[in-house]
Amino acid sequence: MLEWLKQPWPWYVAGPLIGLTVPTLLILGNKSFGISSSLRHVCAACMPAKIPFFQYDWKKELWNMFFVLGIFLGGVIAAWLLSNPDPMVVHPNLQAEMAGYGITDYSGLVPNEVFNWPALLTPRGFIMMVAGGFLVGFGTRYAGGCTSGHAIMGISNLQMPSVIATCCFMVGGFIMANLILPFILSL
């Protein structure tokens, strides 16, 4: 059983399980699936400042913080019990392209040449980790939710803003992967 869990799940198993989260939350508690708002709830709970954005009854959203804690603990347990010691499998064409940027170490979950503490002090590392993280956070707030929230919850509720946001996320991802990322990796 444990060996079966260690293998990547096919899309036709994992996708419906993720998709069934939405109706389950709606049916059991009239709750919306979303993760990006959890930071706001934590800040509202922990910050005594009178910032209007954090002035709301965050205790009504306590279930969401437990949901995120469960996701975190599930990730820790999975990394501890279910981690695969084999190197990440990367398609040979992508390996050849990434080797041109000096990225060859796939022994972890992310390429070690890009995502490590010393790399943070390089222009490439700073752009990828700090500026990229800021842009993701800003985009999440500006779009009124994260990619998974819009794509999973918003589209399943037939919300046109979520359809538009998800289309924009996809276009932005294609532009980033094909035009901007090669430039950043060549720094």
Residue owning tokens 């709830």? 41
Give the three-state DSSP class for 187: coil
For residue 155, being part of any structural domain is answered with: yes
Confidence of residue 122 (pLDDT cuts 50, 70, 90): confident
163-183 pLDDT, tens digit per residue, is 999 999 999 999 998 999 888
Question: In angstroms, how far is CA 125 from the centroid of its own chain?
Answer: 19
**Which has the closest alpha carbon to 25: 65, 56, 67, 59?**
67
Residue 186 lies in a domain: yes
Of residues 70 and 157, more confidence is placed in 70
* 30-59: average pLDDT: 83
Q: Percent of the chain beyond pLDDT 90?
A: 14
Q: Within a domain: residue 129?
A: yes
pTM of the model: 0.69
User: How many CB atoms neighbour CB 73 within 10 A?
Assistant: 10
Q: Round the average pLDDT of the chain to a whole number and report it.
A: 85
Does residue 89 belong to any structural domain of this protein? no
Q: ∠ CA(106), CA(98), CA(87), 5° rounding?
A: 15
Does residue 88 lie within any of the structural domains? no
Higher pLDDT: 173 or 48? It is 173
Residue 94 lies in a domain: no
Closest-CA residue to 25 (of 57, 56, 70):
70
Q: Would you say residue 142 lies in a domain? A: yes
The answer to the question of residue 5 being in a domain is: no
Domain encompassing residue 178? 116-187
Counting the structural domains of the chain, the total is: 1
Could you give the CA distance from residue 35 to residue 19 in angstroms, rounded to a whole number?
15
| Neighbour tally for 4: CB within 10 Å | 7
